[in-house]
Structure 1
Amino acid sequence: MFTLDSITMRLGGHVILERATVAVPPKARVGLVGRNGAGKSSLLKMIAGIYEPDEGRIGAPSGTRIGYLKQDAPGGSATPFETVLATAEERAALLDEADTATDPHRIAEIHERLNAIDAHTAPSRAARILAGLGFPEDAQHRPLDEFSGGWRMRVALGALLFSEPDLLLLDEPSNHLDLEAALWLESFLKAYPASLIVVSHERDMLNTVASHIVHVDNGKTTLYAGNYDQFERQRRERQAQDAAMRTKQEAKRKKLEAYVDRWRYKAHTARQAQSRLKALQRMAPAAEVFDDASLVFDFPSPKEVKPPLLMLEDVAVGYVPETPVLSSIDLRIDPDDRIALVGRNGNGKTTLARALAGQLRLMDGRIKASGKLSVGYFAQHQIEELVSEHTPLQHMERLLSDAKPGEVRRHLARFGFSGDKVSVRVSALSGGERARLSLALVTRDAPHILILDEPTNHLDVDAREALVQALAGFGGAVIVVSHDRHLLSLIADRLLLVDGGTAREFDGTLEDYRDSVLSAARSKKGNGQDGKQMPKAPVPKVDRKEKRKAAAEARERTKPLRKRVSQAEADMKSLTVKRDAIDTKLVEATSSEARDLMKQRGQLNREIDEAEAHWLEASEAIETAMVDVDA
Structure 2
Amino acid sequence: MLAINNLTYYIGGRPIYFEASLHVKPKNKIALIGANGAGKSTLLRIIAGEYTPDEGDVTKSKETSIGYLNQDLLSFQSDDSILHIAMSAFSEALKIQSDIEALIQKMETAYEERMVEELATLQERFETLGGYSLKSKAEEILEGIGFRTEELEKPLSQFSGGWRMRVMLAKLLLEKPALLMLDEPTNHLDLPSIQWVENYLKNYEGAVIVVSHDQQFLNNCTNITVEVSGGKLNLYSGNYDFYKEEKVARQEVQRNAFENQQQKIKETERFIERFRSKATKARQVQSRVKELERMDMVEEVQESKAKVNIRFTFSQASGRFVATFDKVDKRYDQLEILKNATGVVEKGDKIALVGANGKGKSTLLRIIMGTEPIQSGEAKLGHNAIPSFFAQHQLESLSLENDLVEELKQTGTTRTETELRSILGAFLFNGDDVFKKIKVLSGGEKSRVALAKVLISEANFLLLDEPTNHLDIQSVNVLAQALQNYEGSLLLVSHDRNFIEQVANKIWYIEEGQIKEYPGNLQEYNAWMENRRLAEQSSDSESSAEDENEKPSKKQEYSQSERKNIQRELRKAQKQLDQVEGKLMEMEVDREELEAQLGKPEIYADNDKVREISQKLDEIKAKEKQLNEDWELHATAVGDLEEKLL
* Distance in 1 between residues matched to 2:52 and 2:457, nearest whole Å: 49
Number of positions where the alignment pairs a residue of Structure 1 with one of Structure 2:
526
TM-superposed CA distance for 1:263, in Å, is: 1.0
CA contact (8 A) 1:38 1:217 kept: yes
Alignment-mate amino acid for residue 485 of structure 2: G
Alignment-mate amino acid for residue 321 of structure 2: P
Alignment-mate amino acid for residue 451 of structure 1: L
CA gap 1:76/1:447 in 2 versus in 1, 3 angstroms: same
Q: Secondary structure of 1:76's match?
A: coil
* Distance in 1 between residues matched to 2:124 and 2:519, nearest whole Å: 51
CA contact (8 A) 1:94 1:110 kept: yes
1:314 alignment partner, one of 327, 330, 333: 327
CA contact (8 A) 1:293 1:417 kept: no
TM-score (norm 2): 0.74
1:84 alignment partner, one of 83, 86, 92: 86
Partner of 1:269: 281
1:183-210 deviations in Å (ceiling 9; x for gaps) = 2211211111111111111111110110
CA gap 1:405/1:345 in 2 versus in 1, 3 angstroms: same
* Distance in 1 between residues matched to 2:484 and 2:296, nearest whole Å: 40
TM-superposed CA distance for 1:481, in Å, is: 0.7
**Percent of aligned pairs with the same residue?**
35
1:421-461 deviations in Å (ceiling 9; x for gaps) = 44332223343332232122222243322221111112111
CA contact (8 A) 1:297 1:466 kept: no
* Distance in 1 between residues matched to 2:49 and 2:530, nearest whole Å: 37
* Distance in 1 between residues matched to 2:423 and 2:178, nearest whole Å: 50
1:10 aligns with 2:1: no
1:183 alignment partner, one of 195, 204, 214: 195
CA contact (8 A) 1:297 1:436 kept: no
* Distance in 2 between residues matched to 1:241 and 1:143, nearest whole Å: 57
Alignment-mate amino acid for residue 314 of structure 1: K
TM-superposed CA distance for 1:416, in Å, is: 5.2
Partner of 1:557: none
Q: Secondary structure of 1:189's match?
A: helix
CA contact (8 A) 2:330 2:375 kept: yes
**Deviates most, 358-367 or 383-392:** 358-367
Alignment-mate amino acid for residue 76 of structure 2: P
* Distance in 2 between residues matched to 1:308 and 1:69, nearest whole Å: 44
* Distance in 2 between residues matched to 1:588 and 1:137, nearest whole Å: 61
* Distance in 1 between residues matched to 2:145 and 2:338, nearest whole Å: 23
Partner of 1:236: 248
Partner of 1:20: 20
**Which segments of 5 or more consecutive residues in structure 2 lack a partner in the other structure?**
105-113, 537-595, 603-646
Partner of 2:262: 250
* Distance in 2 between residues matched to 1:519 and 1:124, nearest whole Å: 30
TM-superposed CA distance for 1:219, in Å, is: 1.2
Q: Secondary structure of 1:38's match?
A: coil
Partner of 1:455: 467
TM-score (norm 1): 0.76
CA gap 1:407/1:236 in 2 versus in 1, 3 angstroms: closer
Alignment-mate amino acid for residue 79 of structure 2: S
TM-superposed CA distance for 1:212, in Å, is: 1.2
**Which segments of 5 or more consecutive residues in structure 1 lack a partner in the other structure?**
524-582, 590-631
CA gap 1:430/1:98 in 2 versus in 1, 3 angstroms: closer
* Distance in 1 between residues matched to 2:118 and 2:431, nearest whole Å: 75
* Distance in 2 between residues matched to 1:504 and 1:477, nearest whole Å: 18
Q: How do 1:487-506 residues align onto structure 2 when only pairs under 5 Å count?
A: 487-505=499-517
Alignment-mate amino acid for residue 398 of structure 2: L
1:459-499 deviations in Å (ceiling 9; x for gaps) = 11122122222222222222111111211233223222235
CA gap 1:513/1:137 in 2 versus in 1, 3 angstroms: farther
CA contact (8 A) 1:295 1:463 kept: no
Partner of 2:342: 330
Q: How do 1:164-313 residues align onto structure 2 when only pairs under 5 Å count?
A: 164-291=176-303, 296=308, 298=310, 300=312, 302=314, 305-313=318-326
Q: Secondary structure of 1:276's match?
A: helix
CA contact (8 A) 1:412 1:440 kept: yes
1:446 aligns with 2:458: yes
Q: Secondary structure of 1:288's match?
A: coil
Q: Secondary structure of 1:309's match?
A: strand
CA gap 1:323/1:426 in 2 versus in 1, 3 angstroms: same
1:249-300 deviations in Å (ceiling 9; x for gaps) = 1111111111111111221112211221222233344233435556647361
TM-superposed CA distance for 1:130, in Å, is: 0.9
When Rg is computed on C-alpha atoms for both structures, the one with the higher figure is 2
Alignment-mate amino acid for residue 3 of structure 1: A
